[in-house]
Amino acid sequence: MDVVESPSERSEVLFYSAASRPEDEAARQNAVLTSGALRCRGDERLFALAQKAAATVGTSMAAISVIEGDAHHFLATAGFEGQNLPRSISLCAHTIQSAAGSLWISDLVADQRFAGNPLVLSAPYLRSYAGVAVRGPEGHRIGALCALDVETITIQSGRARSDLIGLAGAVEAILAAA
């Protein structure tokens, strides 16, 4: 667990924890490497799906990522230029570990699991996150499709959630054909 001091005037200390690794991490990692997903970086169809994800959820940003080893790789982004991140600060790594295979957080600052994350406390100062796991051909969660914003969002529509899940399915189809 890392400790990060809040940049606010408050003197509280905020915590965050990297996502745990799945029990089947070796098989999941093999699925990432054999899926061809990392070769899809820059695929225009993925950029279009990222743009649709942002529009569907009503956020200013979205991304399609793969979690490989200790890295979070952006395959496509909308609304920002994505650079690889350490897995230890990846919100999408939490998504692939969630029991439901999705993670919906309207205010990252108010959620003590993420309030101390460097992506929340410093640029890009994320405030909201909605993510759905992306599965490889063998069913392992290899990454995520997510919508992000620097403002709080509330996903009240069940349709927005189901549409994001549907977009993740379209991502899976593209990756499966790679």
83-135 pLDDT, tens per residue? 899 999 999 999 999 989 999 999 999 998 899 999 999 999 999 999 999 99
pLDDT at 3 > cutoff 80? no
Average pLDDT over the chain reads 89
Please state the rounded mean pLDDT for residues 157-164.
86
Give me the pLDDT at residue 18, please.
85
Give me the pLDDT at residue 22, please.
82
Residue 65 lies in a domain: yes
Mapped onto helix, strand or coil, the DSSP state of residue 66 is strand
Based on its alpha-carbon atoms, the radius of gyration of the chain, rounded to whole angstroms, reads 15
pLDDT at 69 > cutoff 90? yes
Number of domains in the chain: 1
Residue with tokens 């990252």: 108
Residue 141 lies in a domain: yes
Phi, psi (deg, nearest 5) at residue 38: -65, -20
Confidence of residue 13 (pLDDT cuts 50, 70, 90): low
Confidence of residue 156 (pLDDT cuts 50, 70, 90): low
pLDDT at 169 > cutoff 80? yes
Please state the rounded mean pLDDT for residues 57-74.
96
Q: What is the pTM of this model?
A: 0.88
For 161, the domain range is 42-176
Residue 80 lies in a domain: yes
What count of other Cβ atoms lies within 10 Å of the Cβ of residue 28?
21
Residue 60 lies in a domain: yes
Give me the pLDDT at residue 12, please.
64
Share of the chain above pLDDT 90, in %: 74
Comparing 36 with 156, the larger pLDDT belongs to: 36
Using alpha carbons, list the distances in angstroms from residue 65 to 1, 2, 62, 142.
23, 23, 10, 8
Give me the pLDDT at residue 2, please.
40
Residue 69 lies in a domain: yes
pLDDT at 9 > cutoff 60? no
Residue 10 lies in a domain: no
> CATH number of the domain that 59 lies in?
3.30.450.40
